[in-house]
Structure 1
Amino acid sequence: MSKMLRQVIGEDIEFVWRPEAELYLVRMDPVQIDQIMVNLCHNAKSAIVGKGQITVATENADFDAAFCKMNVEYSEGKYVMLEVSDTGCGMTREILAQIFEPFFTTREVGQGTGLGLAAVEGIVKQNKGFVTVASEPGVGTTFKIYLPAYTGTAVDKQLERHQEMLPGSGETILLVEDEAALLPMVKMMLEKLGFRVLAANSVSAAVALAEKHKHEISLLISDVVMPEMNGCEVLEIVQKTNPDIKALFMSGHTAEVLVSRGFTGSNLNFLQKPFSINDLAEKIGKLIRSSEYPATAKTRQ
Protein backbone atom coordinates (compact mmCIF):
# COMPACT_ATOMS: atom_id res chain seq x y z
CA MET A 1 0.00 0.00 0.00
CA SER A 2 2.78 2.46 0.83
CA LYS A 3 4.05 2.32 -2.77
CA MET A 4 0.61 3.21 -4.15
CA LEU A 5 0.18 6.06 -1.65
CA ARG A 6 3.63 7.37 -2.53
CA GLN A 7 2.49 7.62 -6.16
CA VAL A 8 -0.64 9.53 -5.12
CA ILE A 9 1.27 11.96 -2.90
CA GLY A 10 4.13 12.64 -5.31
CA GLU A 11 7.81 13.32 -4.72
CA ASP A 12 7.58 16.94 -3.52
CA ILE A 13 5.83 16.11 -0.23
CA GLU A 14 7.48 14.18 2.60
CA PHE A 15 5.70 10.87 3.20
CA VAL A 16 5.91 9.25 6.65
CA TRP A 17 4.67 5.64 6.98
CA ARG A 18 4.04 4.38 10.55
CA PRO A 19 2.26 1.00 10.55
CA GLU A 20 1.46 -0.87 13.78
CA ALA A 21 3.29 -4.20 13.98
CA GLU A 22 0.47 -6.29 15.52
CA LEU A 23 -2.86 -4.94 14.32
CA TYR A 24 -6.24 -6.42 15.11
CA LEU A 25 -7.96 -8.12 12.19
CA VAL A 26 -10.79 -6.39 10.31
CA ARG A 27 -13.40 -8.03 8.10
CA MET A 28 -13.84 -5.99 4.91
CA ASP A 29 -12.88 -5.83 1.26
CA PRO A 30 -9.16 -4.86 1.00
CA VAL A 31 -9.98 -2.74 -2.05
CA GLN A 32 -12.22 -0.60 0.15
CA ILE A 33 -9.30 0.05 2.48
CA ASP A 34 -7.26 1.11 -0.55
CA GLN A 35 -10.08 3.44 -1.59
CA ILE A 36 -10.16 5.05 1.84
CA MET A 37 -6.41 5.61 2.00
CA VAL A 38 -6.04 6.87 -1.57
CA ASN A 39 -8.86 9.39 -1.13
CA LEU A 40 -7.54 10.65 2.20
CA CYS A 41 -3.97 10.98 0.90
CA HIS A 42 -5.14 12.82 -2.21
CA ASN A 43 -7.18 15.14 -0.02
CA ALA A 44 -4.11 15.75 2.17
CA LYS A 45 -1.94 16.42 -0.87
CA SER A 46 -4.43 19.00 -2.15
CA ALA A 47 -4.23 20.86 1.17
CA ILE A 48 -0.45 21.37 0.90
CA VAL A 49 1.06 24.20 -1.12
CA GLY A 50 4.81 23.80 -1.62
CA LYS A 51 6.66 21.78 0.99
CA GLY A 52 4.83 19.70 3.57
CA GLN A 53 4.40 16.34 5.20
CA ILE A 54 1.76 13.60 5.10
CA THR A 55 1.80 10.91 7.75
CA VAL A 56 -0.03 7.61 7.47
CA ALA A 57 -0.27 5.54 10.64
CA THR A 58 -2.16 2.51 11.94
CA GLU A 59 -2.74 1.31 15.49
CA ASN A 60 -5.13 -0.64 17.68
CA ALA A 61 -7.73 1.27 19.70
CA ASP A 62 -9.93 0.19 22.62
CA PHE A 63 -12.78 2.36 23.89
CA ASP A 64 -14.75 1.50 27.01
CA ALA A 65 -18.17 2.79 28.04
CA ALA A 66 -16.75 5.46 30.36
CA PHE A 67 -14.59 6.96 27.59
CA CYS A 68 -17.45 6.94 25.07
CA LYS A 69 -19.74 8.65 27.58
CA MET A 70 -17.27 11.53 27.74
CA ASN A 71 -16.54 11.46 23.97
CA VAL A 72 -19.83 11.01 22.16
CA GLU A 73 -18.25 10.81 18.70
CA TYR A 74 -16.66 7.48 19.66
CA SER A 75 -18.28 4.03 19.93
CA GLU A 76 -17.45 1.36 22.50
CA GLY A 77 -15.34 -1.60 21.40
CA LYS A 78 -12.06 -2.69 19.81
CA TYR A 79 -10.99 -1.00 16.56
CA VAL A 80 -8.22 -0.71 14.03
CA MET A 81 -7.38 2.96 13.53
CA LEU A 82 -6.16 4.31 10.19
CA GLU A 83 -4.77 7.85 10.41
CA VAL A 84 -3.86 10.32 7.67
CA SER A 85 -2.51 13.66 8.83
CA ASP A 86 -1.06 16.57 6.89
CA THR A 87 0.69 19.88 7.50
CA GLY A 88 -1.50 21.67 4.96
CA CYS A 89 -3.76 24.69 5.09
CA GLY A 90 -6.27 23.21 7.53
CA MET A 91 -10.01 23.89 7.59
CA THR A 92 -12.40 26.22 9.36
CA ARG A 93 -15.32 24.90 11.40
CA GLU A 94 -17.68 25.95 8.60
CA ILE A 95 -15.82 23.85 6.04
CA LEU A 96 -15.46 20.91 8.45
CA ALA A 97 -19.23 20.79 8.81
CA GLN A 98 -19.61 20.17 5.04
CA ILE A 99 -16.68 17.97 4.03
CA PHE A 100 -18.66 14.71 3.87
CA GLU A 101 -21.42 16.17 1.69
CA PRO A 102 -21.39 14.75 -1.88
CA PHE A 103 -19.95 17.21 -4.43
CA PHE A 104 -18.72 19.62 -1.75
CA THR A 105 -15.22 20.79 -2.64
CA THR A 106 -13.01 23.78 -1.93
CA ARG A 107 -11.00 23.19 -5.11
CA GLU A 108 -11.28 25.14 -8.34
CA VAL A 109 -13.63 24.00 -11.10
CA GLY A 110 -12.15 21.02 -12.92
CA GLN A 111 -9.86 20.05 -10.04
CA GLY A 112 -12.08 17.43 -8.43
CA THR A 113 -15.62 16.08 -8.08
CA GLY A 114 -15.95 16.52 -4.32
CA LEU A 115 -16.86 12.82 -3.99
CA GLY A 116 -13.69 11.60 -2.26
CA LEU A 117 -14.60 12.20 1.40
CA ALA A 118 -18.25 11.27 0.84
CA ALA A 119 -17.02 7.93 -0.54
CA VAL A 120 -14.74 7.47 2.48
CA GLU A 121 -17.57 8.06 4.92
CA GLY A 122 -19.87 5.73 2.98
CA ILE A 123 -17.35 2.87 3.05
CA VAL A 124 -16.61 3.36 6.75
CA LYS A 125 -20.29 3.38 7.71
CA GLN A 126 -20.95 0.32 5.54
CA ASN A 127 -18.36 -1.52 7.62
CA LYS A 128 -19.79 -0.34 10.98
CA GLY A 129 -16.95 2.09 11.64
CA PHE A 130 -16.70 5.82 12.26
CA VAL A 131 -14.53 8.82 11.33
CA THR A 132 -13.09 11.66 13.41
CA VAL A 133 -11.53 14.81 11.98
CA ALA A 134 -9.38 17.45 13.66
CA SER A 135 -8.22 20.52 11.77
CA GLU A 136 -6.78 23.94 12.42
CA PRO A 137 -6.32 26.64 9.76
CA GLY A 138 -2.66 27.13 8.95
CA VAL A 139 -1.61 24.02 10.90
CA GLY A 140 -3.09 20.97 9.19
CA THR A 141 -5.69 18.21 9.35
CA THR A 142 -5.90 14.72 10.82
CA PHE A 143 -8.43 12.10 9.74
CA LYS A 144 -8.83 8.99 11.87
CA ILE A 145 -10.80 6.01 10.57
CA TYR A 146 -11.95 3.44 13.12
CA LEU A 147 -12.90 -0.01 11.80
CA PRO A 148 -14.31 -2.69 14.14
CA ALA A 149 -11.84 -5.41 15.09
CA TYR A 150 -12.78 -8.88 13.90
CA THR A 151 -12.50 -11.51 16.62
CA GLY A 152 -13.27 -14.58 14.51
CA THR A 153 -10.88 -16.90 12.70
CA ALA A 154 -8.95 -15.30 9.85
CA VAL A 155 -10.16 -16.83 6.59
CA ASP A 156 -9.10 -15.14 3.34
CA LYS A 157 -12.01 -15.65 0.96
CA GLN A 158 -11.34 -12.39 -0.85
CA LEU A 159 -9.18 -14.00 -3.53
CA GLU A 160 -11.79 -16.68 -4.20
CA ARG A 161 -14.53 -14.05 -4.47
CA HIS A 162 -12.49 -11.92 -6.87
CA GLN A 163 -11.65 -14.96 -9.00
CA GLU A 164 -15.35 -15.78 -9.28
CA MET A 165 -16.15 -12.31 -10.61
CA LEU A 166 -13.11 -11.84 -12.86
CA PRO A 167 -14.41 -10.61 -16.24
CA GLY A 168 -10.94 -10.19 -17.74
CA SER A 169 -8.23 -12.49 -19.04
CA GLY A 170 -5.48 -10.09 -20.04
CA GLU A 171 -7.47 -7.83 -22.37
CA THR A 172 -6.23 -4.25 -22.69
CA ILE A 173 -8.31 -1.36 -21.34
CA LEU A 174 -7.67 2.32 -22.01
CA LEU A 175 -8.55 4.17 -18.79
CA VAL A 176 -9.06 7.93 -18.92
CA GLU A 177 -9.48 9.77 -15.60
CA ASP A 178 -8.20 13.27 -14.85
CA GLU A 179 -8.74 13.11 -11.08
CA ALA A 180 -5.43 12.15 -9.46
CA ALA A 181 -6.93 10.19 -6.57
CA LEU A 182 -9.14 8.03 -8.77
CA LEU A 183 -6.76 7.06 -11.59
CA PRO A 184 -4.49 4.72 -9.57
CA MET A 185 -7.49 3.41 -7.66
CA VAL A 186 -9.49 2.39 -10.73
CA LYS A 187 -6.34 1.09 -12.43
CA MET A 188 -5.67 -1.17 -9.44
CA MET A 189 -9.28 -2.46 -9.49
CA LEU A 190 -9.04 -3.30 -13.19
CA GLU A 191 -5.73 -5.10 -12.76
CA LYS A 192 -7.22 -7.15 -9.91
CA LEU A 193 -10.03 -8.10 -12.31
CA GLY A 194 -7.55 -9.52 -14.82
CA PHE A 195 -7.03 -6.67 -17.27
CA ARG A 196 -3.98 -4.94 -18.67
CA VAL A 197 -4.47 -1.21 -18.14
CA LEU A 198 -3.22 1.77 -20.13
CA ALA A 199 -3.85 4.72 -17.81
CA ALA A 200 -4.18 8.31 -19.02
CA ASN A 201 -4.63 11.36 -16.78
CA SER A 202 -5.60 13.65 -19.65
CA VAL A 203 -7.33 13.53 -23.00
CA SER A 204 -4.10 14.23 -24.89
CA ALA A 205 -2.38 11.32 -23.12
CA ALA A 206 -5.34 9.08 -23.93
CA VAL A 207 -5.26 9.97 -27.62
CA ALA A 208 -1.52 9.22 -27.76
CA LEU A 209 -2.01 5.82 -26.09
CA ALA A 210 -4.94 5.01 -28.36
CA GLU A 211 -2.81 5.65 -31.43
CA LYS A 212 0.19 3.70 -30.11
CA HIS A 213 -1.88 0.69 -29.01
CA LYS A 214 -4.73 0.87 -31.54
CA HIS A 215 -4.65 -2.86 -32.32
CA GLU A 216 -4.56 -3.91 -28.65
CA ILE A 217 -7.31 -1.96 -26.85
CA SER A 218 -10.57 -3.84 -26.26
CA LEU A 219 -12.39 -1.36 -24.04
CA LEU A 220 -12.37 2.34 -23.25
CA ILE A 221 -13.29 3.40 -19.71
CA SER A 222 -13.51 7.16 -19.43
CA ASP A 223 -14.69 9.89 -17.12
CA VAL A 224 -17.41 11.96 -18.76
CA VAL A 225 -16.71 15.50 -17.56
CA MET A 226 -13.10 16.59 -18.17
CA PRO A 227 -11.46 19.98 -18.86
CA GLU A 228 -10.23 19.34 -22.43
CA MET A 229 -13.25 17.47 -23.79
CA ASN A 230 -15.87 15.05 -22.53
CA GLY A 231 -15.67 11.28 -22.55
CA CYS A 232 -18.00 10.93 -25.51
CA GLU A 233 -15.70 13.07 -27.64
CA VAL A 234 -12.73 10.97 -26.51
CA LEU A 235 -14.58 7.87 -27.71
CA GLU A 236 -15.19 9.45 -31.12
CA ILE A 237 -11.45 10.12 -31.49
CA VAL A 238 -10.48 6.60 -30.39
CA GLN A 239 -13.03 5.07 -32.78
CA LYS A 240 -11.18 6.60 -35.73
CA THR A 241 -8.35 4.09 -35.20
CA ASN A 242 -10.41 1.40 -33.44
CA PRO A 243 -14.00 1.56 -34.75
CA ASP A 244 -15.17 -1.58 -32.93
CA ILE A 245 -14.05 -0.52 -29.45
CA LYS A 246 -16.64 -0.64 -26.67
CA ALA A 247 -16.87 2.03 -24.00
CA LEU A 248 -17.91 2.44 -20.39
CA PHE A 249 -18.41 5.95 -19.03
CA MET A 250 -18.10 6.90 -15.36
CA SER A 251 -19.05 10.08 -13.53
CA GLY A 252 -19.93 11.46 -10.15
CA HIS A 253 -23.00 13.00 -11.74
CA THR A 254 -26.17 10.98 -12.28
CA ALA A 255 -27.16 9.82 -15.76
CA GLU A 256 -30.01 12.37 -15.72
CA VAL A 257 -27.61 15.26 -15.11
CA LEU A 258 -25.33 14.04 -17.90
CA VAL A 259 -28.22 13.84 -20.34
CA SER A 260 -29.05 17.46 -19.52
CA ARG A 261 -25.44 18.32 -20.42
CA GLY A 262 -25.63 16.57 -23.77
CA PHE A 263 -24.59 13.01 -23.02
CA THR A 264 -27.01 10.76 -24.89
CA GLY A 265 -25.30 7.36 -24.76
CA SER A 266 -26.97 4.27 -23.33
CA ASN A 267 -27.32 4.33 -19.54
CA LEU A 268 -26.21 0.67 -19.61
CA ASN A 269 -22.74 1.92 -20.52
CA PHE A 270 -22.64 4.20 -17.48
CA LEU A 271 -21.17 3.66 -14.00
CA GLN A 272 -21.81 6.23 -11.30
CA LYS A 273 -19.04 7.19 -8.88
CA PRO A 274 -18.25 6.17 -6.25
CA PHE A 275 -18.32 2.48 -7.18
CA SER A 276 -16.91 -0.75 -5.78
CA ILE A 277 -14.81 -3.36 -7.55
CA ASN A 278 -17.94 -5.55 -7.62
CA ASP A 279 -19.90 -2.81 -9.44
CA LEU A 280 -17.05 -2.41 -11.92
CA ALA A 281 -16.75 -6.15 -12.52
CA GLU A 282 -20.48 -6.57 -13.10
CA LYS A 283 -20.69 -3.67 -15.55
CA ILE A 284 -17.63 -4.72 -17.55
CA GLY A 285 -18.72 -8.35 -17.58
CA LYS A 286 -22.03 -7.44 -19.20
CA LEU A 287 -20.40 -5.04 -21.61
CA ILE A 288 -17.66 -7.23 -23.02
CA ARG A 289 -19.79 -10.39 -23.27
CA SER A 290 -22.75 -8.90 -25.09
CA SER A 291 -23.28 -7.12 -28.37
CA GLU A 292 -26.35 -5.45 -26.88
CA TYR A 293 -24.21 -2.66 -25.42
CA PRO A 294 -23.13 -0.36 -28.26
CA ALA A 295 -20.07 1.81 -27.81
CA THR A 296 -21.49 4.79 -29.63
CA ALA A 297 -22.33 7.91 -27.67
CA LYS A 298 -23.22 11.33 -28.95
CA THR A 299 -23.17 14.84 -27.64
CA ARG A 300 -25.19 17.84 -28.70
CA GLN A 301 -23.32 20.38 -30.74
Structure 2
Amino acid sequence: MPGWKVGLSAVAAVLIAGIAVLALHRGGPPARCAPGMVALGPRCCGDGQRLDAGRCAGAPTRCGDGLTRTPAGCVAPGASVRIAAGTLRLGPSDWEAQGLVEAREVFVPAFSLDAFEVTEQRYAACADAGACPPLPLRGEPGVPVTGITLEEAARFCAFAGGALPTRDQLAFAAAGPSSRRYPWGDTGAVCRRVAFGLRAGPCGWNATGPELAGARPDGAAVHAAGRLFDLAGNVAEWAAPDRPGAEISGTHGGSWADGAASALRTWNRRLLPISTRAPDIGFRCAYAP
Protein backbone atom coordinates (compact mmCIF):
# COMPACT_ATOMS: atom_id res chain seq x y z
CA MET A 1 0.00 0.00 0.00
CA PRO A 2 1.38 3.44 -0.87
CA GLY A 3 2.70 5.45 2.07
CA TRP A 4 0.14 8.20 1.69
CA LYS A 5 -2.69 5.67 1.96
CA VAL A 6 -1.15 4.19 5.10
CA GLY A 7 -0.97 7.70 6.55
CA LEU A 8 -4.60 8.42 5.76
CA SER A 9 -5.65 5.12 7.31
CA ALA A 10 -3.75 5.97 10.49
CA VAL A 11 -5.35 9.42 10.67
CA ALA A 12 -8.81 7.90 10.10
CA ALA A 13 -8.21 5.35 12.86
CA VAL A 14 -7.21 8.11 15.28
CA LEU A 15 -10.29 10.17 14.39
CA ILE A 16 -12.61 7.19 14.81
CA ALA A 17 -11.05 6.35 18.17
CA GLY A 18 -11.43 9.97 19.28
CA ILE A 19 -15.08 10.04 18.25
CA ALA A 20 -15.70 6.79 20.10
CA VAL A 21 -14.10 8.11 23.28
CA LEU A 22 -16.14 11.33 23.04
CA ALA A 23 -19.35 9.37 22.51
CA LEU A 24 -18.61 7.18 25.51
CA HIS A 25 -17.86 10.27 27.60
CA ARG A 26 -21.06 12.02 26.58
CA GLY A 27 -23.18 8.90 26.83
CA GLY A 28 -21.83 7.78 30.20
CA PRO A 29 -23.54 8.44 33.52
CA PRO A 30 -23.30 11.98 34.90
CA ALA A 31 -21.03 12.71 37.85
CA ARG A 32 -22.39 11.27 41.09
CA CYS A 33 -21.12 14.09 43.28
CA ALA A 34 -21.91 17.78 43.02
CA PRO A 35 -19.23 20.38 42.15
CA GLY A 36 -17.10 20.97 45.22
CA MET A 37 -17.43 17.33 46.26
CA VAL A 38 -15.38 14.29 45.26
CA ALA A 39 -16.43 10.63 44.98
CA LEU A 40 -14.54 8.44 47.45
CA GLY A 41 -15.82 4.88 47.56
CA PRO A 42 -19.59 5.08 48.05
CA ARG A 43 -19.39 8.59 49.53
CA CYS A 44 -19.30 12.18 48.30
CA CYS A 45 -16.80 14.03 50.48
CA GLY A 46 -15.61 17.62 50.46
CA ASP A 47 -12.77 18.41 48.09
CA GLY A 48 -9.52 17.73 49.95
CA GLN A 49 -10.95 15.16 52.34
CA ARG A 50 -10.07 11.45 52.55
CA LEU A 51 -12.17 8.37 53.25
CA ASP A 52 -11.39 6.81 56.63
CA ALA A 53 -13.41 3.73 57.67
CA GLY A 54 -16.36 4.94 55.64
CA ARG A 55 -16.19 8.50 56.98
CA CYS A 56 -15.22 11.70 55.19
CA ALA A 57 -12.22 12.80 57.26
CA GLY A 58 -10.01 15.87 57.36
CA ALA A 59 -10.67 19.52 56.67
CA PRO A 60 -12.24 20.13 53.25
CA THR A 61 -10.88 22.81 50.97
CA ARG A 62 -14.23 23.12 49.21
CA CYS A 63 -17.81 21.94 49.74
CA GLY A 64 -20.88 21.61 47.57
CA ASP A 65 -23.36 24.40 46.95
CA GLY A 66 -25.28 25.30 50.10
CA LEU A 67 -22.96 23.42 52.49
CA THR A 68 -20.72 25.15 55.00
CA ARG A 69 -17.02 24.31 55.13
CA THR A 70 -15.84 23.53 58.68
CA PRO A 71 -12.62 21.96 60.01
CA ALA A 72 -14.57 18.75 60.67
CA GLY A 73 -16.25 18.56 57.24
CA CYS A 74 -19.04 19.93 55.09
CA VAL A 75 -22.22 20.70 57.05
CA ALA A 76 -25.72 21.73 55.99
CA PRO A 77 -27.24 24.76 57.75
CA GLY A 78 -30.25 24.44 60.02
CA ALA A 79 -32.53 26.29 57.61
CA SER A 80 -36.24 25.81 56.97
CA VAL A 81 -38.45 26.47 53.95
CA ARG A 82 -42.05 27.68 53.96
CA ILE A 83 -44.39 25.50 51.91
CA ALA A 84 -47.56 27.14 50.67
CA ALA A 85 -50.93 25.48 51.29
CA GLY A 86 -52.15 23.13 48.60
CA THR A 87 -53.85 19.85 47.77
CA LEU A 88 -51.98 16.57 48.05
CA ARG A 89 -53.18 14.04 45.50
CA LEU A 90 -52.15 10.44 45.97
CA GLY A 91 -53.40 7.69 43.72
CA PRO A 92 -52.54 4.85 41.38
CA SER A 93 -51.41 7.04 38.46
CA ASP A 94 -47.98 5.49 38.96
CA TRP A 95 -48.32 1.82 38.00
CA GLU A 96 -45.94 0.78 40.79
CA ALA A 97 -48.36 2.31 43.30
CA GLN A 98 -51.32 0.22 42.21
CA GLY A 99 -52.53 -1.90 45.09
CA LEU A 100 -50.14 -0.13 47.48
CA VAL A 101 -51.52 3.40 47.73
CA GLU A 102 -55.03 4.35 48.67
CA ALA A 103 -56.23 7.04 46.28
CA ARG A 104 -57.08 10.21 48.18
CA GLU A 105 -56.98 13.98 48.11
CA VAL A 106 -56.27 16.06 51.20
CA PHE A 107 -55.77 19.78 51.74
CA VAL A 108 -52.47 20.57 53.45
CA PRO A 109 -52.30 23.96 55.23
CA ALA A 110 -49.15 26.04 54.91
CA PHE A 111 -46.20 24.97 57.05
CA SER A 112 -42.42 25.17 57.16
CA LEU A 113 -40.04 22.24 56.94
CA ASP A 114 -36.33 21.74 57.55
CA ALA A 115 -34.52 22.18 54.26
CA PHE A 116 -32.11 19.40 55.29
CA GLU A 117 -32.34 16.24 57.35
CA VAL A 118 -31.34 16.83 60.98
CA THR A 119 -27.58 16.39 61.17
CA GLU A 120 -25.37 15.00 63.89
CA GLN A 121 -24.18 18.54 64.58
CA ARG A 122 -27.70 19.77 65.31
CA TYR A 123 -28.59 16.74 67.39
CA ALA A 124 -25.39 16.99 69.44
CA ALA A 125 -26.33 20.57 70.38
CA CYS A 126 -29.67 19.30 71.72
CA ALA A 127 -27.94 16.53 73.69
CA ASP A 128 -25.41 19.02 75.09
CA ALA A 129 -28.32 21.18 76.26
CA GLY A 130 -29.81 18.19 78.10
CA ALA A 131 -32.97 18.25 75.98
CA CYS A 132 -32.18 15.10 73.95
CA PRO A 133 -30.78 11.74 75.07
CA PRO A 134 -27.22 11.13 73.88
CA LEU A 135 -26.89 8.74 70.95
CA PRO A 136 -23.88 6.96 69.45
CA LEU A 137 -22.90 9.16 66.52
CA ARG A 138 -20.78 8.40 63.47
CA GLY A 139 -18.51 11.38 64.15
CA GLU A 140 -19.30 13.39 61.02
CA PRO A 141 -21.16 16.61 61.87
CA GLY A 142 -22.74 16.84 58.40
CA VAL A 143 -24.36 13.40 58.12
CA PRO A 144 -27.98 12.89 59.23
CA VAL A 145 -28.42 11.49 62.72
CA THR A 146 -29.61 7.87 62.55
CA GLY A 147 -30.41 5.04 64.94
CA ILE A 148 -33.06 7.24 66.49
CA THR A 149 -36.52 6.27 67.68
CA LEU A 150 -39.60 8.27 66.81
CA GLU A 151 -39.95 9.57 70.38
CA GLU A 152 -36.33 10.78 70.43
CA ALA A 153 -36.82 12.51 67.09
CA ALA A 154 -39.97 14.20 68.43
CA ARG A 155 -38.04 15.45 71.47
CA PHE A 156 -35.47 17.09 69.22
CA CYS A 157 -38.18 18.77 67.13
CA ALA A 158 -39.78 20.15 70.29
CA PHE A 159 -36.36 21.52 71.33
CA ALA A 160 -36.05 23.14 67.89
CA GLY A 161 -39.47 24.78 68.22
CA GLY A 162 -41.37 22.43 65.92
CA ALA A 163 -42.76 18.92 65.69
CA LEU A 164 -42.35 15.82 63.58
CA PRO A 165 -44.08 16.36 60.22
CA THR A 166 -47.21 14.44 59.42
CA ARG A 167 -47.17 11.92 56.59
CA ASP A 168 -49.23 14.35 54.48
CA GLN A 169 -46.73 17.16 55.07
CA LEU A 170 -43.78 14.98 54.04
CA ALA A 171 -45.60 13.65 50.98
CA PHE A 172 -46.75 17.13 49.91
CA ALA A 173 -43.28 18.60 50.41
CA ALA A 174 -41.90 15.94 48.06
CA ALA A 175 -44.73 15.65 45.52
CA GLY A 176 -45.94 19.26 45.43
CA PRO A 177 -49.33 20.26 43.99
CA SER A 178 -48.42 18.55 40.68
CA SER A 179 -48.07 15.14 42.37
CA ARG A 180 -44.50 14.49 41.22
CA ARG A 181 -43.25 10.89 41.32
CA TYR A 182 -39.95 12.07 42.78
CA PRO A 183 -39.10 15.31 44.59
CA TRP A 184 -37.35 16.65 41.46
CA GLY A 185 -39.91 15.49 38.86
CA ASP A 186 -41.47 12.44 37.25
CA THR A 187 -38.35 10.76 35.87
CA GLY A 188 -34.61 10.51 36.40
CA ALA A 189 -33.88 8.50 39.55
CA VAL A 190 -30.12 8.72 38.96
CA CYS A 191 -27.16 8.72 41.30
CA ARG A 192 -26.34 12.43 40.92
CA ARG A 193 -29.81 13.32 42.22
CA VAL A 194 -30.32 10.93 45.11
CA ALA A 195 -28.23 8.98 47.62
CA PHE A 196 -29.58 5.45 47.20
CA GLY A 197 -28.17 2.08 46.26
CA LEU A 198 -24.94 2.79 48.15
CA ARG A 199 -24.69 -0.56 49.94
CA ALA A 200 -25.08 -3.01 47.05
CA GLY A 201 -25.45 -0.81 43.95
CA PRO A 202 -26.37 0.75 41.65
CA CYS A 203 -24.76 3.94 43.02
CA GLY A 204 -22.08 2.51 45.29
CA TRP A 205 -20.89 -0.50 47.24
CA ASN A 206 -20.33 -1.38 50.89
CA ALA A 207 -21.64 1.86 52.41
CA THR A 208 -22.40 1.53 56.12
CA GLY A 209 -24.34 4.76 56.61
CA PRO A 210 -25.84 7.81 54.94
CA GLU A 211 -24.35 10.51 52.79
CA LEU A 212 -23.76 14.10 53.89
CA ALA A 213 -27.09 15.92 54.13
CA GLY A 214 -27.50 18.09 51.04
CA ALA A 215 -24.78 16.37 49.00
CA ARG A 216 -27.18 15.77 46.06
CA PRO A 217 -28.57 19.27 45.29
CA ASP A 218 -29.76 18.21 41.81
CA GLY A 219 -32.46 16.12 43.48
CA ALA A 220 -33.96 18.90 45.59
CA ALA A 221 -37.69 19.61 45.63
CA VAL A 222 -38.21 23.18 44.48
CA HIS A 223 -40.82 25.35 46.20
CA ALA A 224 -41.48 29.06 45.83
CA ALA A 225 -39.64 29.86 49.07
CA GLY A 226 -36.65 27.58 48.53
CA ARG A 227 -35.35 24.06 48.02
CA LEU A 228 -35.77 20.94 50.15
CA PHE A 229 -32.94 18.40 50.00
CA ASP A 230 -32.90 14.59 50.34
CA LEU A 231 -36.66 14.09 50.53
CA ALA A 232 -35.83 10.93 48.57
CA GLY A 233 -32.93 8.75 49.60
CA ASN A 234 -30.13 9.29 52.11
CA VAL A 235 -32.22 8.43 55.19
CA ALA A 236 -35.84 7.39 55.39
CA GLU A 237 -37.62 9.98 57.55
CA TRP A 238 -39.95 9.50 60.48
CA ALA A 239 -43.44 10.99 60.24
CA ALA A 240 -45.68 11.62 63.22
CA PRO A 241 -48.11 8.77 63.97
CA ASP A 242 -51.56 9.05 62.44
CA ARG A 243 -53.13 9.07 65.89
CA PRO A 244 -51.83 9.79 69.42
CA GLY A 245 -50.55 6.75 71.25
CA ALA A 246 -50.06 4.64 68.12
CA GLU A 247 -47.25 2.10 68.35
CA ILE A 248 -46.71 2.10 64.58
CA SER A 249 -45.72 4.98 62.31
CA GLY A 250 -44.31 5.49 58.85
CA THR A 251 -40.98 6.43 57.36
CA HIS A 252 -40.91 8.13 53.97
CA GLY A 253 -38.62 8.61 50.99
CA GLY A 254 -36.37 5.56 50.95
CA SER A 255 -32.72 5.58 51.98
CA TRP A 256 -29.08 5.02 51.07
CA ALA A 257 -29.60 1.28 51.62
CA ASP A 258 -32.44 0.89 49.10
CA GLY A 259 -31.48 -0.34 45.66
CA ALA A 260 -34.81 0.10 43.84
CA ALA A 261 -36.12 3.41 42.47
CA SER A 262 -39.65 2.53 43.67
CA ALA A 263 -38.47 3.14 47.25
CA LEU A 264 -37.83 6.77 46.31
CA ARG A 265 -41.36 7.53 45.08
CA THR A 266 -43.14 10.39 46.83
CA TRP A 267 -45.94 7.99 47.80
CA ASN A 268 -43.63 5.40 49.36
CA ARG A 269 -44.25 4.72 53.05
CA ARG A 270 -42.84 2.00 55.29
CA LEU A 271 -44.70 1.18 58.52
CA LEU A 272 -42.53 0.35 61.53
CA PRO A 273 -42.77 0.16 65.34
CA ILE A 274 -42.01 3.58 66.77
CA SER A 275 -39.21 2.05 68.87
CA THR A 276 -37.26 1.05 65.73
CA ARG A 277 -33.61 2.07 65.55
CA ALA A 278 -31.92 1.62 62.20
CA PRO A 279 -28.86 3.02 60.40
CA ASP A 280 -31.04 4.16 57.49
CA ILE A 281 -33.72 6.08 59.44
CA GLY A 282 -33.48 9.75 60.38
CA PHE A 283 -35.85 12.73 60.36
CA ARG A 284 -36.49 16.42 59.84
CA CYS A 285 -38.85 18.81 61.64
CA ALA A 286 -41.91 20.84 60.67
CA TYR A 287 -42.82 24.30 62.01
CA ALA A 288 -45.64 26.79 62.00
CA PRO A 289 -45.54 28.80 58.76
* TM-score, scaled relative to structure 1: 0.21
Where relative contact order (Cα < 8 A, 6+ residues apart) is larger, the structure is: 2
Choose 1 or 2 for highest CA Rg: 2
TM-score normalized by structure 2?
0.22
Normalized per residue, the structure richer in helix is 1
